[in-house]
Chains A and B, each alone.
Chain A
Amino acid sequence: MKVLVPVKRVVDYNVKVRVKSDGTGVELANVKMSMNPFDEIAVEEAIRLKEKGVVTEIVAVSIGVQQSQETIRTALAMGADRGILVVTDQPTESLAVAKILAAIAKEEAPQLIILGKQAIDDDANQTGQMLSGLLGWPQGTFASKITADGAMVTVEREIDGGAETVELKLPAVVTTDLRLNEPRYASLPNIMKAKSKPIASKTPADYGVDATPRLQILKVVEPSKRTAGVKVKTVDELVDKLKVLGAIG
């Protein structure tokens, strides 16, 4: 079966993000960008399913600025077969992304779409759910284990207080959680071979989607600084301090 894996270009998780001086967003100039870590997990899972012989083709999709092509190349170097780049310079909002992905899903007819549960830039955690709604396909979110055969996919999900197992009829939408797998790093030969794998270039209009943002960002601010802690020598002193602070009665 065919799997679609959307991959997003985000600020690398190692970067300490800084808010732009005008408060309109975070600084992106000269900042290292990488594939959203949850999407890496999604790509890895698709590759593992391919290595098991369940999956025959992996298509990586990215929606965003032209440089998102590099994010697709990362997926291709890891083991995806081809890419679709949907270029837009506008901020990508979850609903617009879900609509574009739904249109691609109709065209490509994958049996499974594996997405990251959220992207580490906006932490929205809704694209997979919206996509499932738009397509009318079943969803298994926050997957910590995925087993698939030709007709069904079984997803173990992380929920408050434990794990839940759901069985979904294909085609289906699955979103990944952190513990699903540890993504591979691409070997140098595979990175170089990825150059010759095809990437189709599209625009939101090609899919009949108006990607104009519906939301307006009013202000972005740094989290307030934590005040420094103090060391106490004894439990009595600790209790006294907590009382002074009004933390205990």
Chain B
Amino acid sequence: MDPAEETALLDSIQKWVDREVRPVVMHHDHNDIWPAELVDQMAEMGLFGATIGSEYGGLGLPATTYAKIVSQIASYWMAITGIFNSHLIMAVAVERFGTPEQKAEWLPKFATGEIRGGLALTEPNAGTDLQAIRTTAVRDGDDYVINGTKTWISNGLNGSCFALLVKTDPKAEPRYKGMSLFIAPKGPGFTTGKKFEKLGYKGIDSAELIFDNYRIPAANLIGGVEGQGFFQATGGLELGRINVAARGVGLAEGALRLATDYAQQRQTMGKPIADHQAIQLYLGDMVTRARAARLLTFDAAEAYDRGERCDMQAGMAKYFASEAAVKNSQEAMRIYGGYSYSKEYEIERFYRDSMLMCIGEGTNEMQRMIIAKQWVKRNPA
């Protein structure tokens, strides 16, 4: 992408954040209110179509530009990036694996935000172990009938359509061969549970999706062939990890920005605390960590844009950036001293929000195991 054009996009995002997001973030976060006005503005800004191809009315942004946008917004309020991020992962599944008819029908509506949604994989008994899901889809004439429960689904209440992972053949061995992915709009038989109360990631709704004889046309089976679902749902993971890494970068940089300002304003023993060596050690670590997280993330994003395999880079970026987010927000808490604990300051939100980055999109335990396995495989003794 032309650098001048990318700068123009990021400038506009910054103006939007400064004018619309920053004044309302605390109110929405503290009261866990879904930011309806911001969502309308995100649609207007084109964010719901950011990565969708221009032939479907999207912006067709490369992963690097998209990751820059995500980290920039996340450095002020991470949670709202989930509103378009989860939606775009659903769109990616349709764009990469859907039939031409499915792309023509759904992508233009996804791109404008007329239809918004997310990705429904996790179940009460299956998170990391996705192949253990129990939701089933049974063919009945031109339809499928779906039964089961999904949990922790981002945008579950306010979204109207989900990429839904099910078993079309629960007896298949290996288990992944019996899995399929559907485009599932809300309708009869598809209800939602109550909104989850969470530590952080407020403003965006997480909920249970309940399917009770939910009937859906066979035309909604992504790609039109059963048994591809596991591959389709995890095929977007490189991009998914880059996205979460970008959020981690944003949180790490945001915590650093707040701490940097505070350390120069707060005085003890007659000088700003930034002049005390103990605080300098924190700041030195935080700057370095944020920079390393950024470089790892854009290393992965650039490889992705070049069309190279980048699962290992994306995994390292996701792992490192999410841990950087946690550490930087913790150390920013130290720098703020007692005020870090006050809800009148913003830093406690970074502390609450950052932990999620280590869990979602493949836990950091799994990331390290996958990185290690890849590494050993590429370096046989």
Binding site for B on A (CB under 8 A): 34, 70, 73-74, 77, 185-189, 191-192, 195
Contact = CB atoms under 8 A, between A and B. Distances in A.
B46 A70 contact: no
Contact of A188 (B4, B7, B47): B47
B12 A73 contact: no
Nearest 4 pairs between A and B by C-beta?
A: A185-B15, A188-B46, A189-B46, A185-B12
B44 A191 contact: no
Contact of A70 (B4, B15, B16, B59): B4
B50 interface: yes
Contact of A77 (B8, B47, B59): B8
Interface of B: 4-5, 7-9, 11-13, 15-16, 19, 44-47, 49-50, 59
B59 A192 contact: yes
Contacts of B49: 189
A187 B112 CA distance: 12
Nearest to B43: A187
A34 B10 CA distance: 13
Contacts, number: 39
A186 B7 CA distance: 12
A195 B5 contact: yes
A70 B9 CA distance: 12
A186 B59 contact: no
Nearest to B65: A188
B54 to A, nearest CB: 8
Given A34-B11, A191-B9, A191-B12, A185 B4 contact: no
B19 A185 contact: yes
A74 B10 CA distance: 12
Contacts of B4: 70, 73
A70 B59 CA distance: 20
Contacts of B9: 188, 191-192
Nearest to B58: A189
Nearest to B6: A191
A191 B19 contact: no
Nearest to B111: A189
Contact of A187 (B7, B19, B45): B45
B152 to A, nearest CB: 30
Contacts of B7: 70
A189 B15 contact: no
A70 B8 CA distance: 8
6 contacts: A70-B4, A77-B12, A186-B12, A187-B45, A188-B13, A188-B45
B16 A185 contact: yes
Given A192-B5, A192-B59, A195-B5, A187 B11 contact: no
Nearest to B20: A185
